[in-house]
Structure 1
C-alpha cells in the first residue's frame, strides 16, 4: 500500500516531468480521495497563490479557475496532517488542473476512470466550446467578441473594453442610459464586468440585458440561460436578476442562476451572502427551484461545486439522467440531439473537463450503457 512519502515522491516526479501515465493516475486519485489530505490541499492553496504572484505571465482568469478547482477539492475532503513541499504543491495543482485533464467517477458498480492527457481533436471530432459572444449596443449595432479580441467600444461617455474573453464597463456619468445585450451562442461562454463592478460569467446559449450605467435606486439586469453572479455590495441599491420565471434580489453575494427555457425549472443556487427568490430568502448552500409551468417554488440543499462546475471548466453530474446531460452537451458543443431509441432509466454521476472534445464525453457515457451515432453536428441516441 502506498504511503504519503510515496505520493510526495510522485508529486516531485510530476514536476520534474518524469512521471508515467500510471503514476499520474495514482497521484490524482490520491489527491481527490474523499476523507483524506485536506490540510495538504489547504497548504497547496497558499503555495499556489505565492507561485502565481511570481508568474505574472499566467492569465488571471486561468489562475482563478485553477484556484476555484483547488478549493472545491479542499471542501470535499477531511483533515489529515501531511507534509508537502512548495514545488510539490505546484505539481499537485498541475495534476488537478492540467490541460485536457479528466476525472470521471461513476456509480459504485462501475469502475472509476481517469484520463490525464488526450490527443488533439481529430478533424472528424467536435471541439469543445470557447470564449465567444455578440454584444448588441443601444443603437442596434452588433460587435462580435471572442477570446483573442482586444478593443475599446465607446457609447457616449461609457467605455467598454474587451480584454481576453471578457468585457469591462466603466460607469458613465451621462443621464441618458442605454441598454446593451450580451448574447452567448451554443458552443460559447463569456465574462462581463458590469458598470457597478459586478462580475457575471455566462454559460452557452445565454443572454444578458443590462444598462450602460446604474444611476437609480436599483440595479436590474435580465437573464435567459445560465449565469454566475459575483455582485458588488451596495446596500442602497439592490441588485435584481429578472428571469422569465422569477426575480432574484440580492445586496452583495455570489450565486448561480439557471434559467434556460428548455429546462423544467429555473434554479437559483446561493454560494455566499443572501438572495430572495419570490420573497423566499435563501441561505448559503441552498437552491430554489421555480417550476416554469406552475410558478411553484421549492427550496432544498444544493451540491454547490456541482452547480458551478461549468464556471470552472467542468461538467459535473450526480445521478443525472442522460437527457439532462445531453442538453448540457448540446449547448456546449453546438450539436443537435435526436432520439431514435429510448435511453431508459440511465443515471450517471461524475466530473469531466469541458475542454475535451465531444468524443471523450461520449466514451464516458457509452461506458455506462448509452449508445450514439454522430452525423455531422447531429448526435443521434440509439
Structure 2
C-alpha cells in the first residue's frame, strides 16, 4: 500500500490529536500493519515518546510479538476491538490513547455518566520505593532522586533516578540484609551486588543480602518481580516465595506472587529454572510457566504467553482471556485504589492492551466501552456498577 510521507504524517497527526475519522483510522492502522518499519512511523513514535518521557528512548519491546495472540482463537464474549493488533501496539508504545470502534447499540463512552463526573485525576504509578537498611532505618526513593547510600559491608549504593545499584561489598565478614519495597502505585529497578538486575512491580518487596557468601545466592520476594540473573555456576541463585523456591544459574524469569492472587506463577523467558514446593520439583523450559496453587499446594507446568506476562516492564497492561475482576486487581495495585462492587461483575473475557501511563479514568473508559459494567470514581475508590 504505497503512500507518500506527507499523507502518513497527516494521518499520524490526526491520530495523536484524536480527530481521525473511522476511515482515516482504518487507513492508518492498515498501513502500519503492512509497513511497520516505515521511517516516518518511527520518527513520529520517537518524537511523541520524547514529549512524554524527556530524555528517554522508546522502550525496547517486541510489540508485534506482544500483540500477536491478543485476539484469542477460542470464543470470548468481548475483546478490545483492536482489529489491527500490531498496528495498535505500535501507537500504544508512545502512550497514546487508542480509538475504539463501538459495538452496535452500545452507549458511547462520552455519554456514560459514571466516570464523567468531575473527580480528582488519579495518575498512574511511578518510580518510587522505600529502602529498609539492616538497622531498621528507611530511605525514600523516587524517580528523580540522585544519591549515594553507605552500605553495611562497605558497598557503594547509588540511586540513579528509578533504580538502585549496589557495588561489590568491600568486606563480607558480617552479612547484612536490606529490603526494597514498592508501594501500590510504585515500581523500581535494582542491581544486586553480584550484578543481577531486578524489576519490582507495584506492591512488592525484595529482601536480599548486601553481599553474597556461601554456596548460593538467596533472596526473598513478595509481589511481582522480573529477574535477569548474573551467571555464576559456582553459586546458584535462589528466589524464595513463601513455600516455593525458584532455583537458577543464569536466566531471565518473572515471578508473580501477590497475596490476593490464587496462584504463584513463575514464567521462564530464557535459560532454565527449577521450581520446588515440598517434594514437588518442576524444571522449566523457555516459554513455560510453573503454577503453584496457594490453596491446594499443587504445582503444575503450562505453556505461557511470555510477552503478555512481562509487558508490565515496558509500560503496558496486556490482557488475554482475562476476567474483569483479574484486570481490576492489576489496576488497583498500579493506581493505588480500592475496588468496590455494587453489582456482580460480568464474567466476560477481555483481550487487548492498555498503556500503564494513562490516567485511571481513561483506563476505565476503555473497559466500560468494551464490557457490560460501568464505573464510578469516589476519592481513591473505584465502584463497579451494572
* TM-score normalised to structure 1 length: 0.79
Deviation at 1:12, TM superposition (A): 5.1
Q: Is residue 372 of structure 1 aligned with residue 375 of structure 2?
A: yes
Cα pair distance change 1:77/1:292, threshold 3 Å: closer
Unmatched segments (≥5 aa) in structure 2: 70-87, 109-117
- Deviation of residue 130 (structure 1)? 0.6
CA distance in 2, matches of 1:246, 1:96: 35
Q: Within 5 Å, give how 1:190-339 maps onto structure 2.
A: 190-278=188-276, 279-339=281-341
Alignment map for 1:1-382 (pairs within 5 Å): 3=1, 5-6=2-3, 10-11=7-8, 21=18, 22=20, 25-26=25-26, 29-30=29-30, 33=33, 40=37, 62-63=56-57, 66-68=59-61, 71-73=62-64, 95=91, 97-98=93-94, 100-103=95-98, 124-156=120-152, 157-174=154-171, 175-278=173-276, 279-367=281-369, 368-382=371-385
CA contact (8 A) 2:15 2:25 kept: no
Output one character per residue of 1:74-115: Cα deviation in whole Å (capped at 9) or x when no partner.
57669xxxxxxxxxxxxx9984522x324588999999x9xx
> What is the CA–CA distance in structure 1 between the aligned matches of 2:127 and 2:3, rounded to whole Å?
40
Shift of 1:294: 1.8
Check the 8 A contact 2:8/2:40 in 1, yes or no: no
Give 1:223 deviation, angstroms.
Answer: 0.3
Cα 1:19–1:340, aligned 2, differ >3 Å: closer, same or farther? closer
1:268 counterpart SS class: strand
- 1:280/1:93 Cα in 2 relative to 1: closer, same or farther (>3 Å)? closer
Change (3 A) 1:243 1:93: closer
Cα distance, 1:347–1:211 mapped onto 2, change above 3 Å: same
Distance 1:342 1:74, change over 3 A: closer
Question: How far did residue 124 of structure 1 move?
Answer: 1.7
Q: TM-score, normalised by structure 2?
A: 0.78
Deviation at 1:378, TM superposition (A): 1.1
Change (3 A) 1:176 1:108: farther
Counterpart-to-counterpart distance in 2, 1:302 and 1:337: 28
Give 1:363 deviation, angstroms.
Answer: 0.5
How far 1:173 sits from its partner (Å)?
A: 3.0
Greater relative contact order (Cα < 8 A, sep 6+): 2
Classify the secondary structure of the residue corresponding to 1:317. strand
